[in-house]
Each structure stands twice: as structure tokens, then as C-alpha cells.
Structure 1
Amino acid sequence: MSDTLQLILEDSDGTQLQTSCTRFAVLWQGKEVWIQQDGRGQLLIGVDVEEGDDEYASLLLRPLATNLVSLQLEMEPADAGDDDHVHGPDCGHAH
């Protein structure tokens, strides 16, 4: 399976540009929200966190109605002593 994303970009007058890439980011609320495929047909969405950040971003996806969802970016305090987080290959933290 290809990890190439086919994008359609549309400006305010409706003109569309088609392109492709392996990964792209949207600057949203001052953070880079990265979107890419995982090679199995699923989309990975992550928010970059930089060393020294005192907050981290959580993306919340909530169903609204049939075929509609809400995506919300929330900032939460980073707690270096938080033992509840289990580091794994998909957690996005540098180990």
C-alpha cells in the first residue's frame, strides 16, 4: 500500500489544485498538526511538541451526528512526574 496522500487544495474563489505528498501539516492554534498515512490505509494525526514545552496538545475527535465529527485541539499541562503515561512506539515522545 502506498503512503502517498492525494491532496486537493481549494482557495477562497473555489479554484482547486491537486497535488500529492507523504506528509503535510496544518498550522492550527499555533501548533503544527501533521497528517500522514501509516501504510495500512489509516491516517495518523499528531501535534509536534518541542523540547521544553510546558504544555502538550491533545486532539479530541467527537461524533456530532451521522457523518459529522468535531476535532478539537486542547492544551494540557506537561507534568514530568506523570507516571500514568506508558511510553511506546506510537506515543510520539523521544526515548
Structure 2
Amino acid sequence: MTDALRLILEDTDGTQLETSCTRFAVIWQGKEVWIQQDGRGQLLIGVDVEEDDAEYANLLLRPLATNLVSLQLEMEPADMSGDDEDGHVHGPDCNH
């Protein structure tokens, strides 16, 4: 399976441009919302978090109709200590 995503970008006048990429982001409410394939046919959607961010971004997906969903971005306060009480340091492999 290919990791390339085929995109169709549409202007307000309806003009469409087709392109492809392996990963793309949308700047939404000041955050980068990244979309990419996981290699198993699923889409991964994540929000980049900077080290000095005081809030975490949560993505909420809700069904609206048979073929439509709502994606909502909510922010919650981040624990600024950097480590959990058990000494866990968050890194790229901890899935947090």
C-alpha cells in the first residue's frame, strides 16, 4: 500500500487542483492539524504540540449523518511539570 494521499484542493469558485503528498497540515485555530496514512489504510490525525504550550489539543470526532462527521478542536491545560508522578518523561514513542 502506498503512503501517498491524493488531494483535491478547491477554490471558492469551484476550480479544482489535484495533487498528492505523504502528509499535510491544516492551520486551524492557530494549531497545525496533521493528516497522514498509517500504512494499513487508516488516516492518522494529530495536532502538533510545542514544548512551551500551556494547553493540549484534543480532537473530538462526532457523527452528523451517514456520510458526514464533525471534527472539533478543544484545548485543555497542560501539566507544566514535564514529568508524570511516576517519573515518566514524555517522548516520541510513549503515545501521549
TM-score (norm 2): 0.83
Q: In structure 1, what is the Cα distance between the partners aligned to 2:14 and 2:94?
A: 37
Corresponding position of 1:69? 69
Q: Secondary structure at the match of 1:12?
A: coil
Structure 1 position 10, deviation (Å): 0.3
Percentage of pairs with the same residue: 82
TM-score, scaled to structure 1: 0.84
Which blocks of at least 5 consecutive residues in structure 2 are unaligned?
none
Q: 2:93 aligns with which of 62, 68, 89?
A: 89
Cα offset, 1:64, TM superposition: 2.0
Distance in 2 (CA, whole Å) between partners of 1:14 and 1:90 is 42
User: Matched residue of 1:45: which SS?
Assistant: strand
Structure 1: tracts of 5 or more residues without a match:
none
Q: Runs ≥4 in structure 1, deviation > 6 angstroms?
A: none
Deviation larger for 66-75 or 36-45:
66-75
Task: Compute the RMSD of aligned alpha carbons.
Answer: 2.1
Superposition pairs of residues 23-62 of structure 1, within 5 angstroms = 23-62=23-62
Say how many residue pairs are matched: 90
Give the stretch that moved more between structures: 18-27 or 72-81. 72-81
CA 1:90–1:20 in structure 2 vs 1: closer, same or farther (change >3 Å)?
A: farther
* Offset, 1:90: 6.4
Find the aligned partners of 2:3 and 2:62 in 1 and give their Cα distance: 26
User: Is 1:78 aligned with 2:78?
Assistant: yes
